[in-house]
């Protein structure tokens, strides 16, 4: 053993969570060391090359608003960028990038290498060091000891990783990287409860072996939007994705080989993500479906490898090749990497506080897939919060905890910590009660103040956010009195979108509230539009068009906050509260909620229990 150094914060793991955790803690002024077992695997995307999409894209915008890196790096390295759900309401409009995986990794590593106060070291951490319930540091496989006041563990899908293909398995992390052995046992010795999950990935195929003429091309947006306010928006070379389908033959092959699937032979114990099912699961669960959609996604500008989205599998390799050849356009396919399933250990997130700190060991934080979530974005968001909270602890500041009404990140952490997980947790817009307020376009406005307070963004960046908010308020007020003339040019546009022509002048706001009228239809008639940024225009349209719904949503948030701020003393004996169900007494005692709002979200606590609790608290 040797002492390799003392820091304010040690981050274990250079995946999506670890990168954001290390960066956030260093930005807040801490001396940070990032220990990861392969520098070449920093920010690796072991699964799909996509960043963003519904709810995940919102999280990327929130990470950017909190000074994080994922959005900016995705903007610089995308192969393709698309705004999804443009025909639907603003709450579900979401940006999604197909990233060049290698460029994404290289830029993320470069940005971390140039972050002041951050050191990056290749090392395999096998043990956490603690004293009387307080973290002291970590030890590596080669005997180095790193001491620190805080440690953030973001070991992802590597903890006791086991890769399975057919009846064969290997102790391994993703992409044939080393599994992380020893650390789970060390965490277990601290009384930290662990579980076992699994996830899977599809085969990769060679572009030259694909017959694209049988597929539907899916190009990117012409001048795509960007995740980060730091990125410029211009036309760029993009690669397309391709839509294809499985056939009856595909389904027959799967049915004939289910007995060879490790998922159905009992070889895999870990629970998998419901919303990213394997192709085997889809055939079994949706037996009535004649075919399944698949998307071929390029993995990089400088590679011919393509990802077969929707074809995750751990069937034996020979079956995988036969299956691929049964897909429309893949009769001559060359498989470059087989699909596989990976089982890994995770930490039960109910053992954490809302700051993502372990209840078993002060100063020890967890973030990412290790907390039972699934997805690059969910991991990166947790990483940023855990890193910021480790730094806040060092700096003697209160933890950075976002509410469900403030951010998808608040929904994510609250769901994990308060409700726990029975399968890998994936964020979706339907999980957010107040999603109309948690939009892509207003992430900076929602989180700018707290980001500036914690030193995650510069004061001048926050100033710019405030100025945009003031500008927006002026524009909303202005358009409510700005009239649009009743003239041929205007009526031509209105009729062009199937909207009734004007019979007299109307305010721009009134016109914008018409369902079929969008900002781009009115912009030519409004001088304000000439100098407006696309992001401000998007916000303006939403604020005017959905003003009524937004006001209602804000009232609901008021109600939510009243219960959220109804605090519960930590020394209450729930067992003595008459009228509470036994299940509620048990779970409330186990989880010790800080507020009535939190109590409501604990499984087994019914609305009747909440009513009893409220009366009891009033009595006290």
Ligand X SMILES: Cc1cc2nc3c(=O)[nH]c(=O)nc-3n(C[C@H](O)[C@H](O)[C@H](O)COP(=O)(O)OP(=O)(O)OC[C@H]3O[C@@H](n4cnc5c(N)ncnc54)[C@H](O)[C@@H]3O)c2cc1C
Q: Tell me how many residues contact ligand X (CB under 6 A).
A: 37
**Cβ 126 to ligand X shortest distance, Å:** 6
DSSP 8-state code for residue 73: H
Stretch of 229-237, 375-383, 458-466, 576-584 contacting ligand X, by CB under 6 A: 375-383
Q: Is 105 in the site for ligand X (CB under 6 A)?
A: no
Pick the binder of ligand X from 98, 154, 358, 389 (CB under 6 A): 154
Q: Which of 358, 355, 365, 455 is nearest to 11 (CA)?
A: 365
Q: Is 18 in the site for ligand X (CB under 6 A)?
A: yes
Tokens of 282: 């889809």
CA-based torsion, 414, 420, 422, 424: positive or negative = positive
Residue ranges in 407-436 that form contacts with ligand X under rule CB under 6 A: 426
Tokens of 469: 């908010």
Q: How far apart are CA 123 and CA 142, in angstroms?
A: 8
Pick the binder of ligand X from 105, 250, 358, 369 (CB under 6 A): 369
Q: Which of 313, 319, 320 is nearest to 282 (CA)?
A: 313
Q: How far apart are CA 17 and CA 24, in angstroms?
A: 11
DSSP 8-state code for residue 291: -
Q: Is 268 in the site for ligand X (CB under 6 A)?
A: no
Q: Which of 83, 71, 84, 94 is nearest to 435 (CA)?
A: 94
Tokens of 598: 């939190």
Q: How far apart are CA 242 and CA 216, in angstroms?
A: 5
Residue ranges in 379-398 that form contacts with ligand X under rule CB under 6 A: 379
Q: Is 125 in the site for ligand X (CB under 6 A)?
A: yes
Q: Which of 365, 373, 449 is nearest to 407 (CA)?
A: 449
Q: Of 257 and 369, which CB lies nearer to ligand X in the complex structure?
A: 369
Q: Is 21 in the site for ligand X (CB under 6 A)?
A: no
Q: Is 37 in the site for ligand X (CB under 6 A)?
A: yes
**Cβ 309 to ligand X shortest distance, Å:** 9
**Cβ 406 to ligand X shortest distance, Å:** 23
Pick the binder of ligand X from 112, 118, 135, 342 (CB under 6 A): 342
Q: Which of 120, 29, 96, 135 is nearest to 387 (CA)?
A: 29
Stretch of 82-90, 222-230, 298-306, 362-370 contacting ligand X, by CB under 6 A: 362-370
Q: Is 374 in the site for ligand X (CB under 6 A)?
A: yes
Could you tell me the CA-to-CA distances from 144 to 151, 403, 458 in Å, in that order? Answer: 15, 39, 35
Pick the binder of ligand X from 67, 71, 137, 156 (CB under 6 A): 156
Q: Is 124 in the site for ligand X (CB under 6 A)?
A: yes
Q: How far apart are CA 304 and CA 321, in angstroms?
A: 18
Q: Is 99 in the site for ligand X (CB under 6 A)?
A: no
Stretch of 9-17, 324-332, 407-415, 455-463 contacting ligand X, by CB under 6 A: 9-17
Q: Is 155 in the site for ligand X (CB under 6 A)?
A: yes
Residue ranges in 525-564 that form contacts with ligand X under rule CB under 6 A: none
**Cβ 220 to ligand X shortest distance, Å:** 21
Pick the binder of ligand X from 7, 13, 137, 598 (CB under 6 A): 13
Tokens of 512: 């914008």
Stretch of 194-202, 315-323, 352-360, 604-612 contacting ligand X, by CB under 6 A: 194-202
**Cβ 492 to ligand X shortest distance, Å:** 46
Element (H, E) at 327: none
Stretch of 41-49, 288-296, 488-496, 566-574 contacting ligand X, by CB under 6 A: 41-49
Pick the binder of ligand X from 180, 244, 442, 587 (CB under 6 A): 180
Asked whether 66 and 461 are in contact (CB, 8 A), the reply is no
Asked whether 39 and 122 are in contact (CB, 8 A), the reply is yes
- Range list of β-strands (E), 316-372: 335-337, 340-347, 364-366
Task: Count the helices and strands in the chain (H runs, E runs).
Answer: 20, 22
Pick the binder of ligand X from 52, 67, 68, 200 (CB under 6 A): 200
Query: Regarding beta strands 335-337 and 364-366, do their DSSP bridges make them parallel or antiparallel, or are they unpaired?
Result: unpaired
Give me the half-sphere count of Cα atoms (radius 13 Å) on the Cβ side of residue 392: 22
Stretch of 26-34, 155-163, 397-405, 514-522 contacting ligand X, by CB under 6 A: 155-163
Stretch of 197-205, 526-534, 539-547, 561-569 contacting ligand X, by CB under 6 A: 197-205
Pick the binder of ligand X from 183, 215, 538, 540 (CB under 6 A): 183
Pick the binder of ligand X from 5, 6, 29, 38 (CB under 6 A): 38
**Cβ 69 to ligand X shortest distance, Å:** 13
Q: Is 320 in the site for ligand X (CB under 6 A)?
A: no
Q: Is 41 in the site for ligand X (CB under 6 A)?
A: yes
Q: Is 309 in the site for ligand X (CB under 6 A)?
A: no
Pick the binder of ligand X from 11, 15, 385, 593 (CB under 6 A): 15
**Cβ 361 to ligand X shortest distance, Å:** 17
Q: Is 368 in the site for ligand X (CB under 6 A)?
A: yes
Q: Of 376 and 574, which CB lies nearer to ligand X in the complex structure?
A: 376
Q: How far apart are CA 269 and CA 279, in angstroms?
A: 18
Stretch of 198-206, 549-557, 597-605, 609-617 contacting ligand X, by CB under 6 A: 198-206
Stretch of 79-87, 156-164, 357-365, 492-500 contacting ligand X, by CB under 6 A: 156-164
Query: Regarding beta strands 216-218 and 241-245, do their DSSP bridges make them parallel or antiparallel, or are they unpaired?
Result: antiparallel
Contacts of residue 79, Cβ cutoff 8 Å, sequence gap at least 6:
49, 97, 98, 99, 100, 220, 238, 239, 298, 300, 301
Q: How far apart are CA 239 and CA 218, in angstroms?
A: 9
CA 535 to chain centre: 21
Could you tell me the CA-to-CA distances from 610 to 405, 412, 418, 603 in Å, in that order? Answer: 20, 23, 15, 12
Q: Of 35 and 490, which CB lies nearer to ligand X in the complex structure?
A: 35
The 3-class secondary structure across 237-291, one letter per residue, is CCCCEEEEECCHHHHHHHHHHHHHCCCCCCCCCCECCCCCCCHHHHHHHCCCCCC
Q: Of 366 and 462, which CB lies nearer to ligand X in the complex structure?
A: 366
Q: Is 35 in the site for ligand X (CB under 6 A)?
A: yes
**Cβ 25 to ligand X shortest distance, Å:** 15
Asked whether 340 and 314 are in contact (CB, 8 A), the reply is yes
* Residues at the contact surface with ligand X, assessed by CB under 6 A: 12-18, 35-38, 41, 46-47, 124-125, 154-158, 174, 180, 183, 199-201, 276, 342, 368-370, 374-376, 379, 426
């Amino acid at each position: 053993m040797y002492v390799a150094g003392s820091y304010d914060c040690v981050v274990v793991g250079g995946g999506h969570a670890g990168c954001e955790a290390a960066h956030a803690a260093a930005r807040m002024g801490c001396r940070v060391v990032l220990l990861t077992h392969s520098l070449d695997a920093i920010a690796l995307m072991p699964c799909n090359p996509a960043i963003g999409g519904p709810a995940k894209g919102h999280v990327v915008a929130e990470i950017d608003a909190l000074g994080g890196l994922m959005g900016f790096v995705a903007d610089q390295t995308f192969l393709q960028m698309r705004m999804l759900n443009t025909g639907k309401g603003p709450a579900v409009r979401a940006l999604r990038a197909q990233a060049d995986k290698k460029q994404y990794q290289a830029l993320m590593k470069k940005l971390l290498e140039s972050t002041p106060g951050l050191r990056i070291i290749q090392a395999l951490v096998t043990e956490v060091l603690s004293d009387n319930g307080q973290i002291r540091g970590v030890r590596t496989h080669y005997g180095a000891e790193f001491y620190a006041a805080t440690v953030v563990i973001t070991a992802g899908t590597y903890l006791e990783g086991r890769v399975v293909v057919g009846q064969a398995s290997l102790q391994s992390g993703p992409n044939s990287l080393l599994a992380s052995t020893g650390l789970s046992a060390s965490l277990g010795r601290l009384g930290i409860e662990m579980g076992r999950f699994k996830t899977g990935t599809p085969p990769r195929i060679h572009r030259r072996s694909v017959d694209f003429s049988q597929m539907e091309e899916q190009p990117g947006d012409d001048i795509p939007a960007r995740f980060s306010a730091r990125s410029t928006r211009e036309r760029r070379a993009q690669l397309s994705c391709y839509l294809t389908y499985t056939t009856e033959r595909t389904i027959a092959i799967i049915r004939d080989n289910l007995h060879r699937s490790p998922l159905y032979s009992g070889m895999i114990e870990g629970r998998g993500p419901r919303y990213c099912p394997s192709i085997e699961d889809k055939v079994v669960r949706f037996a009535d479906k004649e075919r399944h959609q698949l998307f071929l996604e390029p993995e990089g500008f400088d590679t011919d490898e393509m990802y077969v989205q929707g074809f995750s599998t751990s069937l034996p390799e020979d079956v995988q090749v036969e299956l691929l050849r049964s897909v429309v356009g893949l009769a001559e396919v060359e498989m470059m990497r087989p699909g596989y399933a990976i089982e890994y250990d995770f930490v039960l997130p109910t053992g954490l506080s809302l700051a993502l700190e372990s209840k078993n060991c002060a100063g020890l934080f967890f973030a990412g897939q290790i907390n039972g979530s699934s997805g690059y974005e969910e991991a990166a968001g947790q990483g940023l919060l855990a890193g910021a909270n480790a730094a806040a602890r060092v700096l003697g500041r209160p933890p950075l905890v976002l509410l469900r009404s403030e951010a998808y990140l608040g929904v994510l952490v609250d769901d994990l910590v308060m409700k726990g997980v029975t399968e890998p947790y994936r964020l979706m817009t339907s999980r957010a009660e107040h999603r109309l307020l948690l939009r892509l376009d207003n992430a900076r406005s929602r989180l700018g103040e707290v980001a500036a307070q914690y030193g995650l963004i510069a004061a001048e960046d926050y100033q710019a956010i405030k100025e945009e908010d003031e500008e927006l308020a002026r524009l909303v007020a202005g358009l409510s009195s700005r009239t649009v003339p009743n003239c041929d040019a205007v009526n031509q546009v209105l009729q062009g979108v199937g909207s009734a022509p004007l019979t007299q002048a109307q305010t721009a706001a009134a016109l914008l509230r018409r369902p079929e009228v969008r900002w781009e239809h009115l912009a030519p008639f409004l001088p304000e539009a000439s100098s407006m940024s696309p992001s401000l225009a998007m916000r303006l349209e939403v604020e005017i068009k959905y003003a009524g719904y937004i006001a209602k949503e804000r009232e609901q948030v008021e109600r939510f906050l009243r219960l959220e701020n109804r605090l519960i003393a930590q020394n209450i004996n729930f067992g003595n509260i008459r009228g509470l169900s036994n299940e509620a007494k048990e779970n409330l005692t186990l989880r010790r909620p800080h507020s009535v709002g939190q109590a409501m979200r604990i499984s087994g606590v019914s609305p009747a229990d909440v009513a009893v609790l409220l009366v009891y608290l009033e009595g006290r």
